Chains A and B, each alone.
Chain A
Amino acid sequence: MAILDTKHRKEPINVLIVGVGGQGVIMVSKVLAQICQNLGYQVKQSEVHGMAKRGGVVFSHVRFGAQVWSPTIPMGKADVLIALEWAEGLRWMSYLRPDTGVFIADTKRIVPPFACRSRILGADIGYSRDTPDDVREKVAEAYALDATEMATRAGNERAANTLLLGALSTTLTFPVSEWKKVISQMVPPKTVDVNLAVFDQGQQWIDSSRKGDPVAGAAFVPLVQPEVNPVRTSLEITEEWCKGCDICVKMCPERCLILNKDQVVELAEPEKCTGCHICEWLCPDFAISLNPIPQEAVA
């Protein structure tokens, strides 16, 4: 179990905080930086804004010690990696010190639209299937907790980042009173109580987990499995009935239909058709029909 001795180390201590735009990554790093400054360390905190607000990747490097040069943490030198979102934690894992790095992650998933793009029948969701057990195998010390769910139950979903601060506090030698003082200064006055309560929860969660006690909030909900035997269909066009009104072409979600030179609809890209039936339902002339292909014919 790693507790970083902040007083006696020559090299700076490196904490990498990661998540998705809007989750409060910058707030976590600001609280940590403020505490470090109050305690007399030199602190550098580096983040990248810009595209972050658009649901993109957000990360903040916090480095503190007697003397800090680079504001960014060299790869492989992060002492603690705090992730506010599961897959983001996995993304930055290579920054951890391989022998001593501590990984603390919220198991919350923020699934990007890009993960739901495949239109192959029975497609898998484009999101990591790695579980906390997979991570524990490869990391010196790893904690996966459902911080968002715990914070929601405590009364404020947005306090999940403070809960993770509580978890982070167990890896450093800073006095609890200092953490609570800075948190109270930095959060909106109305939310001080709930933030302090979840801070304690985060701290207790790690403490119990280190002792090997069973802890609530460790459940990891598996992702939906890909469909094994999806229904397959073939699209049939009765050309004589088509008057070229263009409705199906415009409404097809996969844009796989075109009007040919005779102004008759044609399935231009059959491999793109998912069999959703929209063209069949919308055709005013009943010129399109979709027929299921029997399983044995597919095989």
Chain B
Amino acid sequence: MTAIAEQASPTAIKTGITHQMTGNEAIARGAWEAGVKVAAAYPGTPSTEIMENMARYPVGDVHAQWSTNEKVALDVAIGASFSGVRAISMMKHVGLNVASDALMSFSYIGVHGGLVLIVCDDPGIHSSQNEQDSRIFGRFAQIPVMEPSDAQEALDYTKIAFDLSERFDTPVMVRSTTRISHTRSPVLVSERVTPKDLGFNADVTKNVMVPGHARARHPKVIERLERLAEYLETSDLNRLELGSSKIGIITSSMSYAYVKENLPDASVLKLGLSFPLPKKLIQDFCAKHDRVIVVEELEPVIENEIKTWGLKVEGKEFFPRIGELSPEQVRLSFEQAGVLEPVENALGPQFEPLIRPPVLCAGCPHAMSYTAIRSLDVRVAGDIGCYTLAVGDPLTAIDTTVAMGSSIANAAGMYLAGTETKPIVATIGDSTFIHSGIPPLIDAVYNKANITVILLDNHITAMTGGQENPGTGKTLRGEATHEIDFEAMIRACGVEWIERVDSYDAASMMQTMRESIAYRGVSVLIADRPCVLDPVKIKGPTMSVDAKDCNACQGCMNLGCPALIWSDEWYEGRHVVKIDPTACIGCSVCAQFCPTGAIQPTLVLDQKAAKAKPCGGS
């Protein structure tokens, strides 16, 4: 069963009562209620659903768009702010690295229309390449960092962030985490209030960051932070919950919930912002308690700053700096700190867990592309996307993965090192290529690298759940728009060898790939097949295995297709293969690999079976 209740218009939901919302839904709601006019983002787990929800609000209220990358998204929001409307940009933690160039200078400029930056961190690395703590980035850029602890605060803080942004002339970061973004909890909603459009602010000393102007802006950045810190001393964004304990806890974000779970009656100073900190409030809190412990996920951001004031606080000697916190981890850390009596944690029975890594979908075109790549014995620089899963068994076809768009320049660097004996291949998806793969392609041609780029064009941004991009010809709201002509663009970058092959055509794939690596210079092979999940879930007539013909060679199993599993039959000590008809989409790639012709369309095998029955049968 699938939810249809969700499809109702979000503006139709009742105000004044609570609704179950994820943190991401609440952030979108908060931005809408704050009267945001322009929203731009690039998808990235766990932030993606914020923009998807933003797009459910009326076109007349907010322009919502997928941008080509996070820097572009932030620049679009900055442009809207220049023109006097409220704007928002959302991204995952590593997206902030991409956007940071614009952010660092915009921090000096400050805002005209309020600008809020939503950054979703991923402690525990559920679906990312690192677990950086973006709060440090906020501090680096000298902008306030708000840390909601649940969906209600995600909504409220997003709204307040716009007010703070305009009042203190600063972009404001609202920092979520995977757990906050993807947890549903009750949220009270209210109506949208649209502020008056301010129009463009034609003050070049504020808007144009030439050295003379920038030098004058820097003191203003420091000064606004001082004013903000002063304001936060008494703001109810920082909440003092005085309990009976002699031990005081300073915390923020989701850690607050874990603290309350374990110490419901303790004295807690819950910080709404981890930057800037309310110094006097914290000094008073420390003075009132014999012992103060800071509980925060990832880096000791709050703890270290308090220590620089000469106050004695504890924290990371008990709480891990690595990974996501949990109620049981926080309990254990409190036990180690001597705050809680150790209890033997009684758990349910343990069974050996099944190894179930995420896999490429049944019929995924990437499976064939990487099977061909693996057969060539080449060095492969990978990139970010579903296809990073080809690093695992059985495809094992990726040697490196760094960050969005890194593959092509990494491959060029391997070539320039001069030590590689194998041909060098870069693999990159369509959306990642648009995000940040084009400058390195120009660079590779310009600097005469000898590499092959395999552009895995599945016509969607798949990993994050199927978002449109400039290669799909549709906008976030589904309107038709210009569709990038990849071949023309790649040719314009100076690439002379370009071929487009259907990923499902095993023989052409393997042959064309051999030709592409034989070419001296930069060659680009476009492996072309739509994603099987998005925008349309593809389901064709299925394939089946004729068990009597299968010699269990396991050739098809090397595709790693989840529709192919072992049957209950054996052939010379090897498992005969069968196809799960509910999973198979009929791509036929496995049949192209079958040396005995045992894999056939189910229809054909059924007809054969029917013919084989003796005449006169019913």
Contact = CB atoms under 8 A, between A and B. Distances in A.
A113 B348 contact: no
A224 B568 contact: yes
Interface in B320-376: 326-328, 331, 345-361, 375
Contact of A72 (B5, B179, B558): B179
A34 B568 CA distance: 42
A155 interface: no
Contacts of B557: 113, 116-117, 253
A114 B566 CA distance: 11
B393 interface: yes
Contacts of A51: 126-127, 358
B4 interface: yes
B184 A277 contact: no
Nearest to A233: B572
Given A48-B126, A121-B573, A276-B552, A76 B347 contact: yes
A253 B257 contact: no
A191 B567 CA distance: 32
Contacts of A161: 1
7 contacts: A48-B178, A78-B348, A98-B349, A112-B356, A128-B352, A185-B5, A187-B2
Nearest to A119: B554
Given A71-B179, A130-B351, A188-B4, A42 B574 contact: no
B474 interface: no
Most-contacted residue by chain B among A48, A91, A158 (CB, 10 A) = A48
A289 interface: no
Interface in A123-139: 123, 125-128, 130, 135, 138-139
Contacts of B360: 54
A232 B573 CA distance: 8
Given A37-B20, A51-B358, A253-B554, A43 B186 contact: yes
Contacts of B126: 48, 50-51
Contacts of A47: 182-183
A276 B3 contact: no
Nearest to A51: B358
Interface residues of B, number: 75
Interface string A21-60: 1001001001001100100001111111111111111000
Interface in A215-257: 224, 227, 230-233, 250-251, 253-254
A278 B348 contact: no
A185 B1 CA distance: 11
A286 interface: no
A227 B46 CA distance: 45
B184 A114 contact: no
A250 to B, nearest CB: 6
A277 B270 CA distance: 68
B558 to A, nearest CB: 6
A111 B2 CA distance: 23
Contacts of B20: 30, 33-34, 37, 43, 45
A249 B326 CA distance: 50
Contacts of B178: 48, 50
Given A49-B45, A50-B46, A113-B394, A93 B348 contact: yes
Given A188-B2, A224-B566, A254-B554, A99 B346 contact: yes
B1 A128 contact: no
B269 interface: no
Given A37-B186, A94-B348, A282 B595 contact: yes
A139 B347 CA distance: 11
A274 B394 CA distance: 16
A98 B356 contact: no
Nearest to B393: A117
A37 B18 contact: yes
A76 B347 CA distance: 4
Contacts of A128: 351-352, 354
B348 A114 contact: no
B327 to A, nearest CB: 4
Contacts of A250: 375
Contacts of A101: 348
Interface stretch (B105-113, B134-142, B157-165, B258-266): B258-266
Contacts of B564: 113, 116
Most-contacted residue by chain A among B361, B389, B393, B566 (CB, 10 A) = B566
B1 A186 contact: yes
Given A224-B567, A230-B570, A274-B574, 14 more contacts: A24-B1, A42-B186, A55-B356, A56-B358, A69-B264, A90-B353, A94-B348, A94-B350, A113-B562, A186-B5, A187-B2, A187-B4, A232-B573, A276-B555
B532 to A, nearest CB: 11
Interface in A73-112: 73-76, 78, 81, 87-88, 90-91, 93-99, 101, 111-112
Contacts of A135: 349
Interface in A184-232: 185-189, 191, 195, 224, 227, 230-232
Contacts of A27: 1-3
Interface in A267-281: 274-278, 281
Give chain A's interface residue range (CB within 8 Å of chain B). 35 or more
Contacts of A49: 45-46, 127, 182, 465
Contacts, number: 260
A19 B3 CA distance: 18
Contacts of B261: 69-70, 74
Contacts of B393: 114, 117
B249 to A, nearest CB: 13
A284 interface: no
B551 interface: yes
Contact of B258 (A69, A90, A93, A96): A69
Contact of B349 (A20, A93, A189, A282): A93
B354 A127 contact: yes
A95 B348 contact: yes
Most-contacted residue by chain B among A112, A121, A127 (CB, 10 A) = A112
A93 B552 contact: no
Contacts of A253: 553-555, 557-558
A169 B450 CA distance: 64
Contacts of B573: 121-122, 227, 230-232, 274-275
Nearest to A75: B328
A116 B554 CA distance: 10
A183 B182 CA distance: 22
A131 B477 CA distance: 49
Contacts of B257: 69-71
CB-based closest 10 A-B pairs: A230-B573, A50-B127, A96-B348, A276-B553, A56-B358, A121-B573, A54-B358, A138-B349, A90-B351, A51-B358
A56 to B, nearest CB: 4
B351 A91 contact: yes
A282 B555 CA distance: 14
A181 to B, nearest CB: 12
A69 B149 CA distance: 10
B364 to A, nearest CB: 9
A57 B46 CA distance: 17
B560 interface: yes
A132 B116 CA distance: 53
Nearest to A126: B355
B59 to A, nearest CB: 27
B192 interface: no
B561 interface: yes
Contacts of B3: 27, 30, 186
A32 to B, nearest CB: 11
B258 A70 contact: yes
Contact of A44 (B1, B185, B346, B347): B185
A70 B346 contact: no
Interface string B136-152: 00000000000000100
A244 B348 CA distance: 59
